[in-house]
Amino acid sequence: MEPIDALRAFRSSLYECFDRRADALFELTDAILTAGVVPSPVHLSLQGVHRRGWGSLYAALSEGRIDQGASGKLLARHPLAEEEGASVYAVDVSVWPRCDAESSPERGYYYHPSRHSAGQPIVAGWAYQFIAQLGFARDSWVAPMDLRRVRPTENTNEVAAEQVKGLLRRSGERDGGVSLFVFDAGYDPMQLQQSLEGCRAQILVRLRAGRCFYADPLAPAWTGRRPRHGPKLDTKDPNTWPTPSAEHRLEDPAYGMVRVRAWARLHSKIQDHPTRGTRRPRPIIRGTLILVEVGRLPRGERRRKPKELWLWWHGPGEPELDLIWRAYVRRFDLEHTFRFLKQTLGWTTPRVRHPEQADRWSWLILVAYVQLRLARGCVADLRLPWERRYALGHLTPCRVRRGVLALLPSLGTPAKPPKPCGRSPGRPKGRRSGRAKRYPALKKTA
């Protein structure tokens, strides 16, 4: 299928995912695609593709309805170009800060790398968990597959496991293919492994520094209770590292000499206390510990000294060490996508009150990004004089967005034209809205 035909089919299917206020939601998506950086969402109504008034924009966010199940299936039908080997996905959380929104419910306290509160890198807001397919091409494009808001009372690891299982069902990975899911250090590898046991999925989780792991105990030479833990491997003490079960070396143009070592069938001591009133032993969860060492960092980051990277792998089959280290390096493409969604598409710009409105806006931003990726081979490169030249089909998200406006007339729109309905009577005379209810931000205790 030609790229423009694939984009036209995607837009037609997307319109069917809007159950209520479909026309207003679709034109709002087109306005997101074509507008520049705007100070507030109401400025999107000034775009030519948005034929409705500014009131319909807010009504679409407040009263619209998006079928998230159908939208997830639509995204699963548009992955990146197929490559040999397992499909690689990144799972990560990004926070929508709403520190001063005291009237917004379901806010929680989350870590934020650049914003601080009382001297701590913590903000109050909403957390959204993304799943995106990664590619190994030299660009920053990803293929978003799922989006879900994680409530403060929910466990992030359990929500991630549910999203992974749902993605596997939608993408049809049951025919023998195994997918690799890459997680950052904020996730618990043991919880993920227990929740995804039996799935055709491999997990790769970055570990915090200073972890200790244990091999299976040796056969005791005496009678008595069999020990549960064998020789110890301390990630900070190389003297405790046994001979690796697998090793891989290569010379990479960007990272220099790369050395990957793996130790199979290790486990850690579970720190969670058993259920009160019982004496059940803690489970033994075995996996593969992986150490990645590089000679240097890529150009632009060589002022920093490379550090050891410890990873935890588990899944069916044997770990492919060459795929594993490259997959974790490509995970940072999702970080670039977060920055593009926030700074260019204005994901966290609106000051909506209710989290349901934030959910609808987040899905609109996500499907707008997918349309930019599908339009990459259809638009002309509107290059500024000082910018680098790129071949057609290899444009960056910002460069693609410049040419989308000229492409929309040939694509058409399934949205129906607006119908004049007169002037709204407004609020009845003498009626007041009153003070909005206040909701404190929730802090997780576990």
- CA neighbor of 212 nearest in space, from 230, 235, 193: 235
Percent of the chain residues topping a pLDDT of 90: 66
Rounded to whole angstroms, the maximal C-alpha distance in the chain is: 91
Look at residue 275 and tell me whether its pLDDT is greater than 50: no
**Who's near 15: CB < 8 A, 6+ residues apart?**
22, 26, 414, 415
Averaged pLDDT for residues 254-270 = 93
Give 391-410 as a DSSP string.
Answer: -TT---HHHHHHHHHHHHHH
DSSP 45: G
pLDDT of 260 higher than 90:
yes
Average pLDDT, the chain: 89
> For residue 352, which of 118, 101, 114, 133 has the smallest C-alpha distance?
101
pLDDT over 70 (residue 264): yes
52 pLDDT more than 80: yes
Lowest-pLDDT range of 6-20, 41-55, 70-84, 310-324: 70-84
Output the CA–CA distances (angstroms, integers) from residue 111 to 80, 108, 123, 310, 348, in the order listed: 31, 10, 6, 22, 16
pLDDT of residue 2: 83
Neighbours of 150 (CB within 10 A): 20
What number of other Cβ atoms are within 10 A of residue 254's Cβ? Answer: 13
Q: Quick one: pLDDT at residue 336?
A: 94
- pLDDT for position 83: 60
How high is the pLDDT of residue 3?
84
SS3 60: helix
Share of the chain above pLDDT 70, in %: 94
Distance CA 188, CA 396 (A): 34
**Separation between Cα atoms, residue 418 and residue 395, nearest integer Å:** 34
Reported as a pLDDT band with limits 50, 70 and 90, residue 223 is low
Domain boundaries, the chain: 3-71+359-411
Helix (H) or strand (E) holding 96: strand 88-97
Note the pLDDT of residue 274: 46
The pTM of this model reads 0.92
Whole-number Å distance between alpha carbons of 257 and 249: 7
| Per-residue pLDDT at 164 | 96
Question: Quick one: CA dihedral 272, 275, 281, 286, positive or negative?
Answer: negative
Dihedrals phi, psi of 114, to nearest 5 degrees: -120, -15
pLDDT value, residue 174: 43
pLDDT score, position 239:
94
From 387, 390, 366, 364, select the one nearest 377 (Cα to Cα): 390
Tell me the per-residue pLDDT of 283-326, one tens digit each, with 9 for 90 and over: 889 999 999 999 988 877 767 888 999 999 999 989 999 999 99
354-376: average pLDDT? 96
Asked whether the predicted pLDDT for residue 34 surpasses 70, the reply is: yes
The Cα–Cα gap between 187 and 156 comes to 8
pLDDT-based confidence at 271, cuts 50/70/90? Answer: low
Q: What is the pLDDT of residue 85?
A: 64
Bridge partners, residue 261, by sequence: 247, 291
Q: Which residue has the higher pLDDT, 72 or 280?
A: 72
> Is the confidence at residue 19, as pLDDT, over 70?
yes
Residue 97 has pLDDT above 60, yes or no: yes
Contacts with 198 (C-beta within 8 Å, 6 or more apart), sequence order: none
Residue-level pLDDT at 394? 85
pLDDT, tens digit (0-9, with 9 covering 90-100), for 173-212? 544 578 999 999 989 999 999 999 988 899 999 998 889 9
Task: Provide the CB-side half-sphere exposure for 112 (13 A, CA).
Answer: 23
